[in-house]
Amino acid sequence: MIQLTSLYHMAEAANWPAIQRDGLHSASTLLGLAGILGEDRERLEKHQRLTHTELPNGVQLRDQRPMPSTALASCLIGISPSEWYALINARVFFWLDPARLNRQRAACGPRPQVVLTVDASKLVAAYAEKIAVTPINSGNARRRPARRGAATFVPYAAWATSAWASEAASLGTPIRPSSHSPVELTVAGSILDIMHFVVGVQQLAPDQLFTPVHS
């Protein structure tokens, strides 16, 4: 089995004080904490966010421009684009590869960011039941998007015992080799005690890329 060591989460620098105080939350949880209800919540949670959004409490949500609904409709299996947006918004995301994180950082333009380096083994030990891993960048549906559905989010316990078998069985796609590394690790809902697992913090100035520190 592939060993997970470090995980990387990039957040808007404007959200960093709230993260230190209240933990990491999914977009859906952040909408609830900000008191967003009704049509506004439906629009932000179940439809593509075309613009960067600041909530009434000052928390910022990124746009979802790489996930147009027309592209999703061509690659989703068993769920609708609105269900996919809801699925994405219900999770906190970590990268395993700093290069992928830096591609996301480039897409954020000049806005300052903060990158949290997290001890993977400690986070998994504490949150295994809420963790799922993905074999693709679930937030990008451009340029020949991979087929995807709810089964793209493979529960950690299933991945640990049978790699990507459940994804292939549910989506009808060729099974990926067990050597195929997860692209993302996700946690459903919130990680209130995220600072307990953080082993490094790097503030990124406008347009600055992340440089991992190796011990």
- Given a cut of 60, is residue 1 above it in pLDDT? no
Residue 214 placed within a domain = no
Taking only the tens place, the pLDDT of each residue in 159-205 is 999 999 999 999 999 999 999 999 999 999 999 999 999 999 999 99
Cβ neighbours of residue 86 under 8 Å, at least 6 residues apart?
A: 28, 45, 46
**For the chain, what is the domain count?**
1
Report CA-CA distances (Å) from 199 to 19, 97, 102, 122. 15, 16, 19, 11
Q: Does some domain include residue 210? A: no
Residue 215 lies in a domain: no
Q: What share of the chain is helix, strand, coil (3-state, %, to 5)?
A: 40, 20, 40
67-77 average pLDDT score: 96
pLDDT score for 84: 98
pLDDT of residue 213: 80
The pLDDT of residue 190: 98
3-state secondary structure of 116: strand
pLDDT(106) > 60: yes
Torsion of CA 79, 84, 87, 93, to 10 degrees: 140
Report the predicted TM-score, pTM, of the whole model to 2 decimal places. Answer: 0.95
Does residue 58 fall inside a structural domain? yes
Distance CA 140, CA 107 (A): 12
Domain span including residue 63: 6-204
In a domain, 56, yes or no: yes
15 assigned to some structural domain: yes
State the average pLDDT for the chain: 95
Alpha-carbon torsion, ordered 40, 50, 153, 156, to 10 deg: -80
Tell me the DSSP string of 27-95: HHHHHHHTT--HHHHHHHHHS---S-EE-TTS-EE---TT--HHHHHHHBSSS-HHHHHHHHHTEEEEE
Residue 24 has a pLDDT of 98
Residue whose structure tokens are 């011990």: 215
Report if residue 90 sits inside a domain.
yes
What pLDDT digit, counting tens, does each position of 148-159 carry? 999 999 999 999
Spatial separation of the C-alpha atoms in residues 164 and 178, rounded to whole Å = 7
Q: How far apart are CA 60 and CA 57, in angstroms?
A: 9
Residue 134 lies in a domain: yes
Cα–Cα dist 187/97, whole Å: 17
Whether 143 has a pLDDT exceeding 90, the answer reads: no
